[in-house]
Amino acid sequence: MSVNLQSAAALPVQALAWLGGQGTRAIAALVFLGIALPPLGELLKPYVTEAIFFLLCISFMRVDLAALREHLRRPAIVLAATAWTTLGVPLVSGLGYHAFGLDARSPDLFLALMLQAVASPMMAAPALAAVMGLDATLVLVTLVTCTALVPFTAPLFAYAFFGNALTLSPLGLGFKLAAILAGSLLVASAIRWSVGASAIRKYRSEIDGFNILILFVFVSAVMGSVGDSLWADPLRTMELALSAFSVFFALLGVTALIFRRLGHQRAFALGMMVSQRNMGLMLAATDGVLPGATWLYFALSQFPIYLSPLLLKPIVGRLPKAETPAIETGDA
């Protein structure tokens, strides 16, 4: 009897390990599952903030502190990448969108694009870079510095560009971002201290599997309305999808061009990081109180993010190889 109970108890753990081993295939599948199950998306929509918080906890819990300290000893590249990600991207984006009059012609889309621009990179960026064979350590360190700055830079650009488009005040946005990030860092530190880094490494696949389950909550919540929107207004939905892909590849290409002197692989790694903005964090910070078109753009922007590892890995394989240290990190 005890053997049977132990076997039964081990099944969920084995299932998580199997799910975690599916890597980018499972992440890409989440997008289509979210569209296929709209009622589940409506059910999970109120829990976006909690899902993002747990994803951040997992990512902070798995940060390789040794790799972090190593890159911080040579900060020039990290500082340049951080400045471009947190200051350059939102400034260029805001001025460009204003020049085209997007804030007047389509305020909901303008709000979505600016929330995307002011967001820090996704916590999944180092893991996706590692899966693609890119310099994940550089991505991780830049991600940490960008994430630390976003509670200060996001309100700055909110004052400059948002106007009355955002119901939450810029100062409130900064406080909310700081609270989410600080809270998840404290929880992650407590877990890391209580179980130890070795246990986290040992159960990497199981943690990956749990991470994908939590990610499913977020993806389902934001993707649940895509099917209905496509049916109700296919042209508008396709225009927003095209915008999402265009912004993604524009950020990737421009960033890779700016940092091309670092070498093809490092430049591409930074381009991937900059193009993968953590819009889930902005959803959590605003409590999901956003216009319908803004929600729809956020949902459609998940397509290039989660499909890019599968789409771009062949291109990465043709880039000149560079010796880069591996890191242990997690998705978000």
Q: Is the pLDDT of residue 204 over 70?
A: yes
Q: Are 121 and 85 in contact (CB under 8 A)?
A: yes
243, amino acid identity: S
Selected residue with higher pLDDT from 328 and 95: 95
Domain spans in the chain, listed from the N-terminal domain onward:
23-317
pLDDT of residue 8 exceeding 70, the answer is no
Q: What mean pLDDT comes out for the span 186-198?
A: 88
pLDDT at 326: 40
Given a cut of 80, is residue 28 above it in pLDDT?
no
List alpha helices for the chain, DSSP H. 2-20, 24-36, 38-44, 48-61, 65-72, 76-83, 89-99, 102-105, 107-118, 125-131, 136-157, 170-195, 197-202, 204-223, 226-232, 234-258, 264-275, 279-285, 292-300, 302-317
Determine the pLDDT at residue 43.
82
Burial class (CB in 10 A: 0-12, 13-18, 19+), 263: middle
Q: Is the pTM of this model over 0.85?
A: no
> What digits encode the pLDDT tens for the residues 250-293?
999 999 999 988 888 888 889 989 998 988 777 777 765 677 77
- 299-307: average pLDDT: 84
CA dihedral 118, 98, 272, 183 (to 10 degrees): 10
The fraction of the chain above a pLDDT of 90, given in percent, is 15
Range with the poorest average pLDDT among 49-58, 85-94, 187-196, 223-232: 223-232
Better pLDDT: 299 or 113: 113
Contact criterion met (CB below 8 Å) for 243 and 116: no
Domain 23-317 class, CATH top level: mainly alpha
